[in-house]
Amino acid sequence: MNLFIDINTLTSISTVFYIILMPLLFVFWKHNKDIEAIKWWCIYPIFRILNSIISSDSQLYDEEAWIYASNLAVIISDSFLMIGCLKFSKRKVNYYYIAAFIGLFIITCIVQYNVDTLLAERAKSVVLFDMVTIAISIYALLHLEDKKYALEKYFTLFWISFQLWTFAFWFYIDFDLLNSAYALWLNFSLAGVYISHIFIIGGLIILTTAMRKNQLIEENENHQKLEANLTIALRDAQIANEEKIDFLTNMSHELRTPLNAILGFSESLKFDYYGTLNDKQLEYVNNIFAGGELLFKLITDLLNLSNIEDGKVDITLEEISLSLLINKTKPLLDEIVSHSPVTFDIINDLEEQKYNKAVYVDQIRIKQILMNFVSNAVKYGKKDGTVTMEIKEYDNRYFNISVRDDGIGIKKDQFENIFKPFNRAGNEKTKIEGIGVGLSIAKDLIEQMNGEIGFSSEQGSGSVFWINIPKSKQREFPLLEENQSDNEIKSDNEIKHDH
């Protein structure tokens, strides 16, 4: 039985395999560019293919120069394999040494070509150079962690070292490649070298997939660690927030008690319950009362905010006609504006029938929001400017109420801060009083009512703050009974209050 393997056929088969496997490596490289080794391993089969083409073409192989070229292709291809292995095991690569190494091989070839060296001697030098690259590749891969790459590492190492043992065998028989005593072994070893290259490329592919898998596992672990840390941080933040809320609530309560005394007693003095005050005394008592009231408002804001953050604010949604809601809110807004020389207009763009339709809101909270808008419009508006509240339909779901002023406006870079608690959007250092919680409370409240809030503003020209309040879905028809008595504000009617 003839056991000899037809080397020419094998060369062609292995070339086909190189051609099939090489694009696979390219695809891997395209998708995993962070694994630098693949780039070098992609080039490795190219030179192998070159070597196979030259050695399978008998005409070319008869010419000395082509044999040298094919040997050079072998050394270059294995150098790329070596660089890839070094990169893969995260070792430093000195490209100068590698260039010098290939240069040395080229010089050896030139010398051999000129002195007409025997084939066996030339083969020895190619194999010797090749053994260096292979030994370094083995050394690099041996350092890979077994835990991460066990199977892939030993599979690739087996086929790379197979070449080393084959070369050692060839040295053992002193490159007497026609030695009939070893003819079969020589044939096997040559076939083995070709086959080994196919398996090495396969090994490189599974090594890179293993590295990708390990990277994903690591990323996942890091992600989980990060998530655990975030959960801890979130819990700590929640505890801190609860403590802050408790503190604010307690402090607001504690402050309100003595403040009530200040307000009560100064009011008694103001109204001359205990004797008439002279002008100076009255002025000072008025100052005490005004200061006390401001403090009271700030503390109430704080308490409101802490209650909202604590989830203690109950929103009671009810149906009420829009006109009634506005009529009930109007006196409160008038009261705010009455202390300043500002002109307050209400513009109603709605037809009577629409104006009388029901909205589904917590009316106390809507009043609170509109009071905040109007008091801000006065605070940040022009001293003797105009504040305009406008009521219109937004869409099928909402009515829109906006409050416009012609005041200082808001800088664009502060837009994102407007609804953040305790943020005064650049007005911290001004004389305008406030603690920056009114709008954040307004936002929380309107969102709990399934409404919307927003604003537009231009620095120096003024601002418009608006809310969209949900229409009642249940009742499509006007709530006539509620409106009849309160129908002070007529459609398209502008009511002006000059102060």
Shortest gap between Cβ of 476 and ligand ADP (angstroms)? 35
- Tell me whether residue 272 or residue 447 sits nearer to ligand ADP (CB atom): 447
User: In one letter, which amino acid is 149?
Assistant: Y
Q: Min. distance of Cβ 442 from ligand ADP in angstroms?
A: 7
Nearer to ligand ADP, 28 or 380 (CB): 380
Do 285 and 276 contact (CB within 8 A), yes or no? no
Of 203, 208, 206, residue with least CA distance to 33: 208
Q: Hunting for tokens 């919680």 — which residue is that? A: 437
Question: In the beta sheet, which residues pair with residue 453?
Answer: 467
Contacts 24+ apart (CB under 8 A), 371-376: 371/329, 371/332, 371/333, 371/336, 372/438, 372/439, 372/441, 372/442, 373/403, 373/442, 373/465, 373/467, 374/333, 374/336, 374/337, 374/344, 374/403, 375/336, 375/438, 376/403, 376/405, 376/438, 376/439, 376/465
Residues in Cβ contact with 349 at an 8 Å cutoff, skipping those fewer than 6 apart: 390, 391, 392, 393, 492
Closer of 85 and 305 to ligand ADP (Cβ):
305
User: Which is nearer to ligand ADP, 17 or 380 (by Cβ)?
Assistant: 380
Distance CA 259, CA 340 (A): 25
Closest to ligand ADP by CB, 328 or 424: 424
CB closer to ligand ADP, 84 vs 381: 381
CB of 290 to ligand ADP, least distance (A): 17
Q: Least Å distance between CB 488 and ligand ADP?
A: 26
Q: How far apart are CA 82 and CA 37, in angstroms?
A: 10
Minimum Å gap between C-beta 377 and ligand ADP is 5
Return phi, psi of residue 41, to 5°: -70, -25
Q: How far is the CB of 384 from ligand ADP (least distance, A)?
A: 16
CB nearer to ligand ADP: give 81 or 377: 377
Shortest distance in whole angstroms from residue 393 CB to ligand ADP: 23
Task: Report in angstroms how near the CB of residue 428 gets to ligand ADP at its nearest.
Answer: 8
Residues in the chain: 499
280 CA to centre of own chain: 62
Q: Among residues 130 and 444, whose Cβ is nearest to ligand ADP?
A: 444
CB 468 within 8 A of CB 447: no
Full DSSP string of 123-181: HHHHHHHHHHHHHHHHHHHHTS-HHHHHHHHHHHHHHHHHHHHHHHHHHHTTT-TT-GG
Rounded CA-CA distance 466/458 in Å is 15
Closest residue to bound ligand ADP by CB: 434
CB of 427 to ligand ADP, least distance (A): 4
Distance between CA atoms of 370 and 390, rounded to whole angstroms?
A: 11
CA 424 to chain centre: 28
| C-alpha torsion 139→145→149→155, nearest 10 | 30
Contact residues toward ligand ADP (CB under 6 A) are 372, 376-377, 380, 405, 407-410, 418, 424-427, 434-440, 463
Quickly count: other Cβ atoms within 10 Å of residue 181's Cβ: 9
CB of 296 to ligand ADP, least distance (A): 14
149/380 with CB nearer ligand ADP: 380
Alpha carbon distance 243, 253 (integer Å):
15
Q: Among residues 209 and 300, whose Cβ is nearest to ligand ADP?
A: 300
* Residue nearer to ligand ADP on the CB measure, 249 or 463: 463
Q: Compute the least distance from the CB of residue 498 to ligand ADP, in Å.
A: 20
Per-residue tokens: 97:
């040494």
Cβ closer to ligand ADP: 192 or 407? 407
**Shortest spacing between CB 493 and ligand ADP, in angstroms:** 25
